[in-house]
Amino acid sequence: MEVIQTNIEGVVIIEPRLFKDDRGYFFESYSERDFNCQVGEIHFVQDNESKSSYGVMRGLHFQRPPFTQSKLVRCVKGAVLDVAVDIRKGSPTYGQHVAVELTEDNHRQFFIPRGFAHGFAVLSPEAIFQYKCDNFYHPEADGGISILDTSLGIDWRIPTDHAILSEKDTKHPLLKDFDSPFSVHEPLY
């Protein structure tokens, strides 16, 4: 696997080594040994999957301490624009984001460490999205910032009038009104 560094420390894009022939392709979608050696020591405990149609936007979500989560995400069908926003108080990249297109064809994965809000927009007619988490989900620890906060400068590549959001995701605060529970001094994973 190749690990591609981004402009925010700890947030990385992973490209697997793909083996293709006339039968199709094969790749290792996850190796704990390689991941721990090249990215960091993470023990994933929960895998999730979602199915969404074009225009669905999910996020920007996080889990509050002590139930924070790192995530390793990928799109196994279709295409999504995936985004991580730094919400660590005191971080030199606070409020900045990294966006990457994840598709069934590029097989890329995106690692989002603790202290980041995460969201995605579906760019294809349908998408199946998978993610590994290093902590179990706790509904009482749910948090979020508005996925439509224009101050974040995210080009979701979906016209706002075509965006499909859950009721919960329409109620998250803007970044300027958000009191982050994360600090730059806390570990990323």
| Residue 123: other Cβ atoms inside 10 A | 19
- 46-96: pLDDT as tens digits: 999 999 999 999 999 999 999 999 999 999 999 999 999 999 999 999 999
Number of compact structural domains in the chain: 1
Whether residue 28 is contained in a domain is answered as: no
22 occurs within a structural domain: no
Catalytic residue among 97, 107, 118, 131: 131
pLDDT at 175: 96
Reported as a pLDDT band with limits 50, 70 and 90, residue 178 is: very high
Q: Report in angstroms the alpha-carbon separations of 9 from 73, 92, 170.
A: 17, 10, 29
**131: annotated active-site residue:** yes
* CATH number (domain holding residue 128): 2.60.120.10
Distance CA 103, CA 80 (A): 6
DSSP class of residue 43 equals -
**Is 15 domain-assigned?**
no
In a domain, 26, yes or no: no
Domain that holds residue 171: 44-183
Residue 16 covered by a domain: no
DSSP per position, 96-117: -EEEEEEETTT--EEEE-TTEE
Note whether residue 154 is domain-resident. yes
Residue 161 confidence (pLDDT): 82
189 is catalytic: no
Nearest to 45 by CA among 109, 129, 135, 139: 135
pLDDT tops 90 at residue 131: yes
Would residue 131 count as lying in a domain? Answer: yes
Query: pTM (2 decimals)?
Result: 0.94
